[in-house]
Structure formats: structure tokens, C-alpha cells
Amino acid sequence: MLVLAGIIVLHITTIILLLVATIDNAWWITDTVSTDLWGRLELKNSIWHYTNLEDYPQEYLQTIQATSVLACIFAILALFVFVAQLFTLPKGQRFIFTGILQLIACLSIMIAASIYTAQLHTDETVGGYGHSYILAWISFVLTFLLAVTYLVLRKKSE
């Protein structure tokens, strides 16, 4: 029972990290700019102004946005499937479907963070990756660990 509670808490934590990484405005930061996947905050005359990401390559940006959202969706779906499988899966069976959904979430956030790393801000000398970017990579590790756990985990026969 303690293992089950730990898995659920880790899964919920991973979902929260994925949502924060996708929504929060800190993928690339400088002293006057804070950028996320959806827009950019620029400091002008002591006032923060929100602008679109028009100067970014749109095909990469849309891919990053889509895969980040998909990672959130698949992680949330995997949690619901896991809870459903707790009640419907025959004893001794593995949580394969939950593991596959979690693995898709893992691959989605890895694709998003990898494309962001390889294609955006590659020639900029000022600034650095913000906490949302770091949370995306932490989420990748956690979703991978959960996927492996679900693929190995068997429903206990009491």
C-alpha cells in the first residue's frame, strides 16, 4: 500500500512539474526578457510587456508547444488509466497500458526540450535557460522512471 501511495504521489508531482514547465514563463531568461513557449515578457521603461514569439522559427515552436501539451495530456491520462486498472486489472497482471501512456508522455517532453535546446537561442550570448526548461528535463526523468515502474509493476495477488 505504501508503494502504491508513493507511485501516485510521484505521478501527481510529475504532472504538476509538466504543467508548470509548459505554462510558466521561464524557458529562456535574461535581465530584461523572460520567454516561455507561448510568448515573451520584455522589460521596457520599468514595465513588463507581453509580446508574441514572432521572431522564432514557427515550425519548431509549434512542435515544442504541441509536444509539451501532449506530454501533459498523456501523463494525466496515464494517472486515470492507472487508477482504473487498479480496480479492473486481473491480479498478477502488469500495468502495460499505463506504462505505454507514461512512456509517450516521457518521449513527448523529451522531444520538446530537445528541439528547444537544439533550435532556439543557439546563437544568443546573453541569458540562459530558466527554471521551466529545467523542470521539463526533470519531468522527462520522472516520467521515464514512472514508465519503467508501470511496465515492471504487477498487480498484487492478495
- What is the residue-level pLDDT of the chain in tens, covering all 158 positions? 888 899 999 999 999 999 999 999 899 999 999 998 999 999 999 999 999 988 889 999 999 999 999 999 999 999 999 999 999 988 888 899 999 999 999 999 999 999 999 999 888 888 999 999 999 999 999 999 999 999 998 877 65
CB atoms within 10 A of CB 20: 15
Residue 124 DSSP symbol: -
Which CA distances in Å does 145 have to 48, 49, 66, 102, 148?
A: 39, 39, 23, 9, 5
Beta carbons of 17 and 138 less than 8 angstroms apart: yes
